[in-house]
Amino acid sequence: MAFLMLADGTIFRGEAIGTPSYALGEMVFNTSHTGYQEILTDPSYHGQIINFTMPHIGNVGVNQEDNESEKIHATGALFRDFSTHFSNWRAEDSLQNFLVNHQIATLSGIDTRALTLHLREKGSQTGCIVTTDTITPEKALYLAQHHLSRSLAALVSTKEPYLYQDPENSSSAHVVVVDCGVKKGILKTLAQYPIKISVAPESISMKELNAFAPDGVLLSNGPGDPVHCESVIQLTNQLLQRQIPIFGICLGHQILALAAGAKTKKMKFGHRGANHPIKCCKTGSVFISSQNHGFVVDETSLPSDLEITHISLFDGTIAGLRHRQAPAFSFQGHPEANPGPNELMVLFKQFINEVQHAQKH
């Protein structure tokens, strides 16, 4: 017996992959056609069950280089047509072995289209994947209905600060990444510039940050409700007052908004995919972006200090902000892609320019 039980009592049956188990998590769906390995290892998916809308998954296998972190952060994965065979010149193992080795509850043969439509109509909710005979549908429903949300960023953040890149040029600008669940792709993109890069835990205080003497701070992506990131919000507020350049990505975007006095709100089913059109408010240019978020900044709560720079063309929600009184801006998405298009890589260049300008002045 293998099935997915939603908190509203809807059940979807499928075929179990791996060892008998069960898993709880917030139900989300991702519309990307490629990049399943990057998605599964993205810390932003911590505590979530991912429904992949692309029917055929697993055909290119997996490899160590494409991991966005050291492990799979999703608690479960759902597929329509799971491929047990793979073929790609970069592949090192099968997706099936990858999921089994990380003990991830997985179902194949799920009607992923029907599940996606259900989540779009009914909204985000908890799900329970069951691949063992020891959990009945009644028990699974109880577990799904009594699953409690919690602060997640602290669970995926580094526990100790570390140096990621240190150029030979001692006069290089120093960027500190506040790790709320940072993807490796973000660090790799930053490392393309001749700057010193340090990574700090999300619990870092202003006093501790001062010891790094940062020329700029990047607030990373991460999982969960941004209002639970109290320490990072407080830190960001102090950074704004001190005029230190800030770049917020995804969760970091929401944290910047909260620190500036705005509010955030839960979306009905979120934005998760690599095909999301974004409009630049200043130029009218349209970009295709990679998105992964279940919360947005509430436009009605924006203080006068925040200016909207980008909007989603799917639903008009805020996709980018800039602070009018401080060198701080943010993007509600993933300009580094991994997976997805890299049309918004220019945002990293914009951040580095502001950091280097601040360093000289």
Of the three residues 145, 163, 197, the one that is the final residue of a domain is: 145
pLDDT recorded at residue 178: 99
Task: Specify which residues 334 forms β-bridges with.
Answer: 290
Residues 185 and 291 reside in one and the same domain: yes
Residues 171 and 123 reside in one and the same domain: no
pLDDT recorded at residue 171: 76
Residues 274 and 330 reside in one and the same domain: yes
Distance, CA of 289 to CA of 274 (rounded, Å): 6
Q: Report yes or no: 73 and 46 within 8 Å, Cβ to Cβ.
A: yes
Residues 115 and 184 reside in one and the same domain: no
Q: Report yes or no: 14 and 78 within 8 Å, Cβ to Cβ.
A: yes
Residues 241 and 288 reside in one and the same domain: yes
Q: Apex CA 249: angle with CA 246 and CA 253, to 5°?
A: 75
pLDDT recorded at residue 316: 98
Residues 140 and 165 reside in one and the same domain: no
Residues 13 and 104 reside in one and the same domain: yes
Q: Is 251 annotated as a binding residue?
A: yes
Residues 94 and 43 reside in one and the same domain: yes
Q: In this predicted model, what pLDDT tens digit does every residue of 50-82 receive, in sequence order?
A: 999 999 999 999 999 999 999 999 999 999 999
Question: What is the extent of the structural domain holding 189?
Answer: 153-360
Distance, CA of 190 to CA of 173 (rounded, Å): 12
Q: Is 294 annotated as a binding residue?
A: yes
The two most distant CA atoms of the chain are separated, in Å, by 66
Residue 361 pLDDT exceeds 80: no
Q: Report yes or no: 48 and 74 within 8 Å, Cβ to Cβ.
A: yes
Q: Is 295 annotated as a binding residue?
A: yes
Q: In this predicted model, what pLDDT tens digit does every residue of 14-35 receive, in sequence order?
A: 999 988 899 999 999 999 999 9
Classify strands 105-108 and 76-78 as parallel, antiparallel or unpaired: parallel
Residues 61 and 187 reside in one and the same domain: no
Of the three residues 111, 145, 179, the one that is the final residue of a domain is: 145
- Residue 145, both tokens: 């209905």
Residues 119 and 218 reside in one and the same domain: no
CATH number at residue 117: 3.50.30.20
Residues 59 and 204 reside in one and the same domain: no
Q: Is 222 annotated as a binding residue?
A: yes
For residues 308-315, average pLDDT: 98
Overall number of domains in the chain: 2
Classified as helix, coil or strand, 242 is coil
Catalytic residues: 250, 334, 336
Of the three residues 81, 116, 145, the one that is the final residue of a domain is: 145
Q: Is 291 annotated as a binding residue?
A: no
Q: Is 210 annotated as a binding residue?
A: no
pLDDT recorded at residue 11: 98
CATH number at residue 287: 3.40.50.880
Q: Is 44 annotated as a binding residue?
A: yes
Residue 126 pLDDT exceeds 80: yes
Distance, CA of 131 to CA of 288 (rounded, Å): 37
Phi, psi of 261 (to 5 degrees): 110, 0
What count of residues does the chain have?
A: 361
Residues 133 and 166 reside in one and the same domain: no
